[in-house]
Structure 1
């Protein structure tokens, strides 16, 4: 007679009896706001630098190239490292990697806040992105692993709230912090604010995160750990920097090279799995139709929503002449609609599941149609007040869709694959956000040409509305193929 992992005798009778499901982690709801604070910090820092760009240019003497890297450097190291960060959580435990990543992210934020030159700030931002990539995948992994299926949709909806609120807060709170000039710190406060938040979060996380040993012997695939981030970086860097630099030859070479680089990496990953190794990217995840189709919906949704947010910022500040704080307040109705819809969707996502994605996409589509009508009618007379209605509809639709989307993608993932799946999902979201901003932003600037006033910005914004409308409709259509919740017998 032998003993099972739980110490029970393993005999014929024990083998026949089904294993009881372990009791859910008792402190899971206390843990949730702590780990979501990490997601908020990472998302906030992704968008707040856009508001601070003029201050960086004036106070730090940052040139255009430095500003590009300060804004974009975080984005591509963050997106490129998420899969590796997720895998590290699977191997060494989400608790350990989360705590380590949070400490490193807080230190990197302080380094950003005390930087004395553009070069120092660029380097610190690159490190900040990498440390965020270690921290963020553990958030979804911990939710997936600790919450039972009946509660998981609700917990994931709070993750969706945090994603949207963090992005909008980058515009609203970022502008408010700069306007207040806290302690005379100027732009530095947007980074240094992470120090007290990070310290408080670490204190609670050390007490509330579960102690769970990783499954199997830790082993990291070095080829995958290098190949996946490099392949993504080869695509992200030219997408982020290409437009401002006039799309030189190196950007096209890099984009083309990203395809064979990723193909070779995936071949290696498949071969390693067949040999019984531990690949960084578990390709079996993509055999789950909910996961693979959900990634398509995620890419379309995030590319559309965040390119809209980016270009709207340009319209408000450059086109309509609003200051950062005023422009941030214009975003407030959208943020409230997103947050309110996400919170409300908690009670209905568990019942309707992926149908909420279709419903949210449909509402967002109506918002984009309304936006096109407003821009077409208003032209030179476009004003923030006329944009509020479409903005609210777009925020409402995405607020309903994003929490349900996260839950639908991760619904069938096994707990031992939670970190890897979370890394792939967050990578797809961040890659889509960055690529959407770069590609659709390029269309915006091409349509804008030499601006001649508000009308020029309205016309360029119409092109963004058309593209984003197509993306939303694609997301809604693909969401129809996602699994529907099973009907329970009456």
Structure 2
């Protein structure tokens, strides 16, 4: 099958003459180091929650903000971060984001009370939102078509490995108590990595930016952030707060605020301005389906990781490091099949997306059945095996899903395209953890036992299976749209050859 390339109409980006031929290996390594850090910090705080309670005397509300505040800031700032890359150049914006992420990680590591840590985590999330969209945007804008599939595969490997490493390495670093720093080392490790990555980014990243200068739409950026916040903050804090009136008021306000933001974006675009949310991107069927599919994917996968971690630690009595190791086979299978997925797509086409989602459905269904029939610690080996099967399916699907979603996004809008796509994924993950996590605690009961945790994990996994079935249907839409793009490119190539 002919690999898909970026839209040939996208010719308004201008690479710097000095960086027109970037070295793909170092370039990809620098980009993925940032992506790994951002994802790692999304998951690693879960294993450090008891340490925060012991050392900083954090209460339930502060713990929710330490975990959920990062997710909120990360998701709500992603679209604006993508637009900043389009306006000021992806390399410059990426370096600024990297430095900001290192500095805010330092602030997290030296926090002496819950308020300081919550504030630093919010800033760290916003820094990640500036940094991460430039990863996909740079890959889309600079990698040739024949190399983009492999780059996307490695992107998938880095993200999936980071989610598992947050559990495994986080638990290991806490047990090792490196230099007596305790939980602080989880954040401080980002400082040297971020500094080195920023220097290497200046050396290896190409300078790609739009030839047309524009102004940042601050009103639109604020509207997008407020809309996402009105959803994510109540979902993140509602359960522990007992769902007070303000949570329902915020959720109800989401619709008018979101509608007003979209209306403003349309009016600004009609006047020839530069809205932060480029609504024309959604006219491409493959992109729209990719955004929805990415949100559904992260909703089920983040919630499965969260609820099974609760089961392994609270129900089966495993420590943080042991629970992380239980997910290690899942991470290995995910990484291996993510790398294999490019070759399979080249040979069999985007049917591999549907195959991957069906394998995931099989794995998660097996998880639910195992826990239903054996709701005790004896189910642990089977949970490890069946989750590894789900990891195989996700590895086949997720990296190629990203590439197929961005194939019709013009280079000059690569930043905002990547920002919206990543925002949808992070929003789906945060919302999935909040909603399915709340269902898990309700099903587990007020005084949960191993059987109660297993029962809760069984039925929440069934919900995740349903979401995976939705993903399976949506991948059909993406495959058909991508196939139409490939045929159109072949027709253009044939016409050009005939005219020549």
Same fold (TM over 0.5): yes
Within-5 A mapping of 1:342-357: 342-357=338-353
Alignment of 1:126 onto 2:122: yes
- What's the CA shift string for 1:429-467, capped at 9, x where partnerless? 000000000011111111111344211111101111110
Q: Deviations over 1:377-405 (max 9, x none)?
A: 10235432121121111111111111011
CA distance in 2, matches of 1:242, 1:426: 24
**Which of 41, 51, 59 is residue 63 of structure 1 equivalent to?**
59
Instruction: Report which stretch shifted further, 26-35 or 335-344.
Output: 26-35
Aligned equivalent of 1:84, options 80, 83, 104: 80
Residue 349 of structure 1, CA deviation: 2.8
Q: Name 1:248's counterpart in structure 2.
A: 244
Q: Match for residue 14 of structure 1? A: none
Contact 2:291 2:405 in 1 (8 A): yes
| 2:443 corresponds to which of 443, 447, 451 | 447
Distance, in Å, in 1 between the alignment partners of 2:420 and 2:378 is 40
Structure number with the bigger relative contact order (C-alpha 8 A, sep ≥ 6) is: 2
Corresponding position of 2:384 = 388
**Secondary structure, in 3 states, of the residue corresponding to 2:57?**
coil
Alignment of 1:311-460 (within 5 A): 311-460=307-456
1:138 to 102, 119, 134: 134
Q: What's the offset of the Cα at 1:372?
A: 1.7
Find the counterpart in structure 2 of residue 470 from structure 1.
Answer: 466
Equivalences for residues 268-279 of structure 1 within 5 A? 268-279=264-275
Which stretches in structure 1 are left out of the alignment for 5+ residues?
1-17
CA distance in 2, matches of 1:276, 1:461: 51
Shift of 1:213: 4.1
Partner residue, 2:192: 196
Superposed displacement of residue 484, structure 1: 4.5
2:97 to 82, 85, 101: 101
Q: Distance in 2 between matches of 1:351 and 1:286?
A: 29
**Equivalent-residue separation in structure 2 for 1:353 and 1:167 (angstroms):** 28
Tell me the equivalent position of 1:182. 178
Q: In 1, distance between residues paired with 2:25 and 2:211?
A: 24
1:257 aligns with 2:253: yes
Residue in structure 2 matching 1:114, options 110, 113, 125: 110
Q: 1:151: Cα distance to partner?
A: 1.7
Counterpart selection for 1:212 from 208, 214, 238:
208
Query: Equivalent residue of 2:210, what SS?
Result: coil
* Match among 243, 266, 278 for residue 262 of structure 2: 266
Q: CA deviation at 1:169?
A: 0.7
**Is the contact between residue 153 and residue 350 of structure 1 (CA under 8 Å) also seen in structure 2?**
no
Are residues 399 and 273 of structure 1, via their aligned partners in 2, closer, same or farther at CA, if it must alter by over 3 Å?
same
Q: Deviations over 1:221-270 (max 9, x none)?
A: 12101111111111110011111111111111101101111111001101
Deviation at 1:371, TM superposition (A): 1.0
Distance in 2 of aligned mates of 1:232 and 1:351: 40
Distance 2:29 2:383 in 1: 33
1:154 aligns with 2:150: yes
Deviation at 1:292, TM superposition (A): 0.3
- Does residue 290 of structure 2 align to residue 284 of structure 1? no
Q: Deviations over 1:67-89 (max 9, x none)?
A: 11111111101100000000000
- Structure 2 vs 1, CA of residues 436 and 218 (structure 1 numbering), >3 Å: closer, same or farther? same
Change (3 A) 1:451 1:337: farther
Give the alignment partner of residue 309 of structure 1, picking from 295, 300, 305.
Answer: 305
d(CA) in 1 for partners of 2:100 and 2:448? 46
| Distance in 1 of aligned mates of 2:348 and 2:149 | 11
Q: Is the 8 Å Cα contact of residues 357 and 405 (structure 1) preserved in structure 2?
A: yes
Whether contact under 8 Å (2:368, 2:461) holds in the other structure is yes
Deviation at 1:417, TM superposition (A): 0.5
> Alpha-carbon deviation of 1:376?
1.5
Offset at 1:351?
Answer: 4.3
Q: Per-residue CA shift, 1:98-152, capped at 9, x if unaligned?
A: 0001001100000100111111111100100001000000000000000112221
Structure 2, gaps ≥5 residues long: 1-10, 492-500
Q: TM-score, normalised by structure 2?
A: 0.91
